[in-house]
Structure 1
Amino acid sequence: MTAVPGDGGTVAPPPAGARPAPGRGVPTWRQAVAGASRVLAEAGVPSPAVDARLLAEHLLGGPLVLAPPVEADLLSRYADLVRRRSLRVPLQHLTGRMAFRHLVLESAPGAFVVRPETEVVAGAAIEAARAVGGRAPVVVDLCTGSGAIALAVATEVPGAQVHAVELSAEAVAVARRNVDALAPDVRLHAGDAATALPELDGTVDVVVSNPPYIPPDQVPVDVEVREHDPDLALYGGGPDGLDVPRAVVASAARLLRSGGLLVMEHAEVQSEAVRALVVAAGFTDVVTGTDLTGRDRYVRARRP
């Protein structure tokens, strides 16, 4: 391994037969990324090649194919990013960005890193909001975190009146910056999903939520989730992890107008329990939706 001065880490040497950049005794960016990919693979990072490239492009501020000649300072900074990613710091925390549907959101410690499976939850809410005819739909996102679902609705359903509710002060700060940057008309509320927005009772068309739902005895396997996502955004409370989802369902029952729709994410193994609690709350037309891998991912239900 070739040490990079000043970072305390290493970057793998370029592949056999590769030539250094002309006039420089350092690897090209492609060689550096290839070496970083090997380092990340050895550390067990799930997508080492993609992460190595994205870290380089974050540092360079553009595509790798347009990269300028390698400079020692940039290479040292890159090695530090690779080292931190090898320790399983989330890619999104290192770049400060995360992709969600068509959006690029700010990501920071203190706010949950939204995952691709939640995009289908947002899609179901967007479809329901678009189906509201003759007026602007009213949509409430409970447990909004970074604001991802609320912002997807606001930017994909023009004219929608979108409210986003979050309890964590750290997550509210991240959501505020995302709202200001992407959809300033979204109304962000710091508060508890269980008691939020009583002034909207009986007037909302869609309530959507990705609440915490992990039971206390099911610690996430992924290091990025277990050690870096906030516990408040992961664990749903109660022995089954469904205390917060129950509160979301109860709030949806009072917020929604007759005919309004609830869309709420849950774990694959919770689909039957969630369906039961939604039915017990008086909802009808209960359907379990799947994510892109075919796993049960969310419930959709209508307030009669």
Structure 2
Amino acid sequence: MLHAVSSATITLTDAGLPSARVDAELLAAHVLDVPRGQLAIAAGFTSEQLTAYRSLVARRAAGEPVQHLIGSAPFRYLELAVGPGVFVPRPETELLAGWGIQGSGPAPVVVDLCSGSGAIALAVAQEVPGATVYAVERSPAALEWLRRNASGTGVTVVAGDASDPAVLAELDGRVDLVLCNPPYVPAGAPVPADVADHDPEDAVFAGPDGLAVIRPVIARAAALLRGGGRFGVEHDDTHGDAVPALLRADGRFTEVMDHQDLAGRPRFATASRSLAIGHGRLTPRDAL
């Protein structure tokens, strides 16, 4: 089995995949139905398993995402079902989710806009005691994956456009935390082949400057949040100045900051909703 994994690693390296060894091990663990960490002590492949493994390696070498091949993707402490039609969650987004989780008080009301697979919403629901979590997604294909992942978790799935004022209008001024990983890549910008060929285009690209979704999402977040509520939004690494500027220009946010990912690139912006809601009035909750 280890010889097969080494051979697969060479194949994937020759295909130009930067995570060749990891991918080879993940595929092997999937075929053997064991955790990746137990591969060294796992039994070898049967002939049928070896055939299945080589087929998966060939598909990965051709550019198919490893997460599609094994049917899942890790996110913080979760393993999410993913496949064609939904954006595969990335490690960078764990930082945004972590920011939201770490600053949450007890039993918050949380909205995840552009939820996709539900990664952020489900991480918050798992890690924040008593959280009431809503996951908003408009893509019918992504909604199928979101509903599958959210089943039995208590997360409320909402079919709708994240920028539509009618979506969750009943929560306006009452939400403690809004998080969003929207499409944000400028149209025409180069992306890795597995993204270009397999992630949904409308989950990746967002107009000429990449801000076509972030602009209305900022306005929607401002309406949803109570005074003092928090907002975090992931963005392209070219948006380190642009997104904070949009938040400041909105006029309803304070404490605007931008944050880097683990590679030191600008990755997400955060802000707090000013205490004045609407025409200078505070909600009853703010007045406490």
Following the alignment from structure 2 to structure 1, what is the Cα–Cα distance between the partners of residues 70 and 50? Answer: 16
Cα offset, 1:219, TM superposition: 3.0
Task: Establish whether residue 30 from structure 1 lines up as the match of residue 2 from structure 2.
Answer: yes
Following the alignment from structure 1 to structure 2, what is the Cα–Cα distance between the partners of residues 73 and 207? Answer: 48
> Map of 1:8-27 to 2, 5 A cutoff?
none
Cα offset, 1:272, TM superposition: 0.8
Cα offset, 1:46, TM superposition: 1.1
1:76-131 deviation line (CA, Å, top 9, x unaligned):
111100000001100000000100011111111111011111100001111232xx
Unaligned runs of 5+ in 1: 1-28
Following the alignment from structure 1 to structure 2, what is the Cα–Cα distance between the partners of residues 252 and 53? Answer: 41
> Map of 1:113-152 to 2, 5 A cutoff?
113-129=88-104, 132=105, 136-152=107-123
> Could you tell me which amino acid in structure 2 is paired with residue 76 of structure 1?
T
Task: Establish whether residue 68 from structure 1 lines up as the match of residue 43 from structure 2.
Answer: yes
Q: What is the percentage of aligned positions where both structures have the same residue?
A: 50
Task: Give the one of 213, 223, 227 matched to 2:197.
Answer: 227
Equivalent pairs, count: 268
Match of 1:56 in 2: 28
> Could you tell me which amino acid in structure 2 is paired with residue 273 of structure 1?
A
Larger-Rg structure? 1
Match of 1:179 in 2: 150
Partners of 1:139 and 1:207 within 8 A in 2 = yes
Task: Establish whether residue 206 from structure 1 lines up as the match of residue 177 from structure 2.
Answer: yes
Task: Establish whether residue 236 from structure 1 lines up as the match of residue 206 from structure 2.
Answer: yes
Following the alignment from structure 2 to structure 1, what is the Cα–Cα distance between the partners of residues 2 and 206? Answer: 43
> Could you tell me which amino acid in structure 2 is paired with residue 120 of structure 1?
L
Partners of 1:128 and 1:206 within 8 A in 2 = no
SS at 2:49 equivalent: helix
1:1-51 deviation line (CA, Å, top 9, x unaligned):
xxxxxxxxxxxxxxxxxxxxxxxxxxxx01111101100000011111111
Partners of 2:210 and 2:236 within 8 A in 1 = no
Task: Give the one of 153, 156, 159 matched to 1:190.
Answer: 159
Following the alignment from structure 2 to structure 1, what is the Cα–Cα distance between the partners of residues 25 and 7? Answer: 11
Match of 2:11 in 1: 39
Following the alignment from structure 2 to structure 1, what is the Cα–Cα distance between the partners of residues 179 and 186? Answer: 21
Following the alignment from structure 2 to structure 1, what is the Cα–Cα distance between the partners of residues 200 and 261? Answer: 23
SS at 1:192 equivalent: coil
After TM superposition, the score normalised by the length of structure 1 is 0.86
After TM superposition, the score normalised by the length of structure 2 is 0.91
SS at 1:140 equivalent: strand
Task: Establish whether residue 290 from structure 1 lines up as the match of residue 265 from structure 2.
Answer: no
Match of 2:218 in 1: 249
* RMSD between aligned residues: 1.1
